Amino acid sequence: MNVSGLTVENLKKSFGQHEVLKGVGFSVESGHFLSLLGPSGCGKTTILRIICGLETADEGKVLVDGTDVTKIRPEKRNIGLVFQNYALFPSMNVAKNVGYGLKMRKVPQPEIDRRVTEALELVKLGGYEPRRVTQLSGGEQQRVALARALVTKPNILLLDEPLSALDRKIRGEMQYEIRNIQRQIGITTVFVTHDQEEALTMSDQIILINQGRIEQQGDPFTIYSQPASVFASDFLGKANLLTGTLTVDGDQWYASADGFRIPVNHVGGQEGTAVRVAARGEYFELCSPNDKDANTFYLEKKIFTGLSWKLIGRLGTQPLDISALGISAEHLREETSFSVRIRPENVVYYDK
């Protein structure tokens, strides 16, 4: 399959008074899986629609393999799109749905049949050809939509929140499945989602979008462990946000406030600068009170969530949630205090 890289440059788009995209640019290496992640209404779907040509940008360019396709009609761009609600043709059976693009390209019928069968086998729906699409389950409809998008051998595959309508279990299977198929045929893919877990699980690269701008981009691990802004730390996995001031003790910098002192790696700011600190609940660990980075955590309530304990309490005067694996927190009692610590590499801070 022909594999292409994708670049978008400085996309701007307004609907009436509302500025949806305020200059978005990024590129995807060929064969890579990119997620556009953001809250609903952040403009991520608009980006996708501009890439495939269903929407025209006010400004900016879309390049496929270095060729400007901004002015090319959508059907000539050779880009496959899977819609959020699948957008299958309810009046046609599975085979007709999948083969539609080939029929429009005037491919001879025997070849259409062969390629439809191939595509359906790829998405594990072999033998589904004569079924009515209205009788399929959500997951199966999703697979048909994927087969329909892939059967024309597009250069780039776009997926618009394809899993948001599925229940949790099937969603997990489909995440794995989509990623598998994508690797197998090596197609450059842009995936739009508002689900951070989904983005983290599936992507080579994540672009976090907020209010029409790129908030942060990077690989899943970096984005999760080093959120670049308050928004990023809050949107991805709900980090704890604490307020404090920068202090220094020898070589070690700290973010301090009434009742705690958290070590940080210094990336800017002077002693006494007011900062917001993002620290993920799962990066805290229990320690002895004598540890040099120990802070006192007052546990108000603990909730068992199956995978872990959620410990709700206070660090000094500020609320803090810690999540601890099953065994380690079982013995902790509510309304008691104990010592916790966090490593500086797991803490980020921002100017207030």
Partner 1 sequence: MSRRFNRTMMVCLWIVLAFMYIPIIAIIGMSFNGTPYGMFPYTFTTTWYSTLFSTSNLPAACWLSLKFSFLVALAALLIGTLTSFGLQYYSPKLARKLNFLLQLPIIIPWLVTSISILLLATFVGAGRSYVTMFLGNLIVVLPYVVLLVNARFLEMDRTPEAAAKLLGASSARVFWDVTLPGILPGVMAGGIMSLIVCFNNFCLQYYLAPVGVNTLPMTVFTRIRSGYQADLNALSAIIILIAVIIVILFSRMGYSAGSLFGMSSGKKAGKGE
Residue type, 314: R
> Both tokens of residue 6?
């994708």
Site size toward partner 1 (CB under 8 A) is 23
In 3-state terms, what secondary structure has residue 25? strand
Half-sphere exposure of 289 (CA within 13 A, CB side): 4
CA 201 to mean position of chain CA atoms = 8
Q: Which is nearer to partner 1, 192 or 264 (CB)?
A: 192
Report residue 241 CA to chain centroid gap: 21
263 with 293: CB under 8 angstroms? yes
Q: Which stretch binds partner 1 (CB under 8 A): 78-86, 179-187, 250-258, 328-336?
A: 78-86
User: Between 4 and 152, whose beta carbon lies closer to partner 1?
Assistant: 152
Contact flag: residue 111 with partner 1 (CB under 8 A): no
Query: Judged by CB, which is closer to partner 1: 109, or 180?
Result: 109
Please identify which residue in 6, 11, 21, 52 interacts with partner 1, judged by CB under 8 A. Answer: 52
Shortest gap between Cβ of 81 and partner 1 (angstroms)? 6
Segment lying near partner 1 (by CB under 8 A), choices 83-91, 202-210, 252-260, 294-302? 83-91
Nearest to 36 by CA among 192, 218, 163: 192
Site string for partner 1, 143-182 (x = CB under 8 A): -----x---x------------------------------
Sole binder of partner 1 in the list 104, 267, 274, 325 (CB under 8 A): 104
Interactions with partner 1, residue window 271-310 (CB under 8 A): none
Q: How far is the CB of 101 from partner 1 (least distance, A)?
A: 4
Nearer to partner 1 among residue 8 and residue 52 (C-beta) = 52
**Encoded amino acid at 240, one letter:** N
Contact window for partner 1 (CB under 8 A) among 30-38, 101-109, 166-174, 273-281: 101-109
Report the residue from 38, 43, 60, 101 that binds partner 1 according to the rule CB under 8 A: 101
* Percent of the chain that is helix, strand, coil (3-state, to 5): 30, 35, 35
Beta pairing class for 318-325 and 308-315 = antiparallel
Q: Does 343 bind partner 1 (CB under 8 A)?
A: no
Structure tokens at 101: 């693009």
Pick the closer one to partner 1 by CB: 75 or 330. 75
Residue 88 within binding range of partner 1, rule CB under 8 A: yes
| E strand map for 90-155 | none
* Amino acid (one-letter) located at 69: V
Question: Across-strand partners of 244?
Answer: 275
The per-residue b/e assignment along 261-271, b for 16 or more CB within 10 angstroms, e otherwise, is bbbbeeeebee
Kindly list the residues in this chain that would bind partner 1 in the complex (CB under 8 A). Answer: 52-54, 74-75, 79, 81, 83-85, 87-92, 100-101, 104-105, 134, 148, 152
